[in-house]
Structure 1
Amino acid sequence: MAQKTVLAINFTKERLQQLKPLAVLVKAPVRPVGEEEKERTIGQVMGLSPQEIAAIENLKPTAAEVAEEQKETAGDSIVIEEPVTQEAIVLCGFENKDVHTLLDAIRGSRLKSVPLKAMLTPHNISWTVQYMLTELAKEYAYFRQKR
């Protein structure tokens, strides 16, 4: 699996400097993602080889699990204006306890929140950064709408 890393997308220099010490708590480097990298896949941005990306993709869920997931999101008609400019983090190679530690640290810091968050998965490793941002923005809007 991928080395533990926090991909930071759409962060200002100041907010990036606030995120870095929080990532130290979980022993993860922060990797800022530049505008020029948004058309690259998450796996490519992580510096993974095509063989490593393929190995992770092979961990994808079964067809039945995918069908169940698609049922849950059926009818999702939220439209997002691109490009997405909200801050996002993608947590790569994290265990659950480290995810909770980092998110709690963010909430308790001057950052307060990062609206778009995701974990690297076999499903999204081949998504471009821009596509990931769009999907995360849709999900964020959906859950805010449900409140």
Structure 2
Amino acid sequence: MKTTNEVVLLYNINPEKLNKIRFVLVRMGVRNKIITKDMYLQTIGSLAGIKGFEKNQEDYTGEGFTDEMLVMRGFTSKRIDELLRLFRNNNIEKIPLKAILTEHNIQWNSLELYKELKEEHEAMKG
């Protein structure tokens, strides 16, 4: 099986949905990482395994967030389309908060990314 440098970070996904998502990701040769609340202070770059982004030694102990969130690293637009198509074909409910790792958000922690995505999502809903 072909593997890639693609990684998906997964936040707050229920176990049944998580199993379906992981099935799709394994078939695509994409690594995945479950992000737990204590990891929220790590930079997205560190969580995605980018060289040069060191792990923050401090664990997050606050409230956090409960919304599902998905962050993709190393995906082309074609591969994003493929991922979303496979999600639909496998009856995986939409995850409204999705992001691609960028030069801007790579330095952010999960809380900062969540806040930005939530604001964008609310603005798009009107």
How high is the TM-score relative to the length of structure 1? 0.70
1:1-147 alignment, distance < 5 Å = 3-50=5-52, 83-145=64-126
Matched residue of 2:95: which SS?
Answer: coil
Distance, in Å, in 1 between the alignment partners of 2:88 and 2:65 is 22
Gapped regions of structure 1 (runs ≥ 5):
53-81
Deviating above 3 A after TM superposition, structure 1's stretches of 4 or more consecutive aligned residues are none
Give the aligned residue type for 1:40. Q
Gapped regions of structure 2 (runs ≥ 5):
55-62
Q: Is residue 42–residue 126 contact of structure 1 (8 Å, CA) maintained in 2?
A: yes
Distance, in Å, in 1 between the alignment partners of 2:92 and 2:29 is 19
In the other structure, the counterpart of 2:57 is none
Give the aligned residue type for 1:50. G
Mean alpha-carbon deviation: is it higher for 21-30 or for 123-132?
A: 21-30
Q: Is residue 45–residue 53 contact of structure 2 (8 Å, CA) maintained in 1?
A: no
Q: Aligned pair count?
A: 115
Give the aligned residue type for 1:140. H
Q: Deviations over 1:47-100 (max 9, x none)?
A: 323279xxxxxxxxxxxxxxxxxxxxxxxxxxxxx7432111101011111100
Q: Is residue 9–residue 32 contact of structure 1 (8 Å, CA) maintained in 2?
A: yes
Q: Deviations over 1:2-47 (max 9, x none)?
A: 9210111111222211101111343201211111111111011123
Could you say what the CA RMSD is over the residues aligned between the two structures, in angstroms?
2.1
Q: Is residue 26–residue 98 contact of structure 1 (8 Å, CA) maintained in 2?
A: no
Identity of aligned residues (%): 30
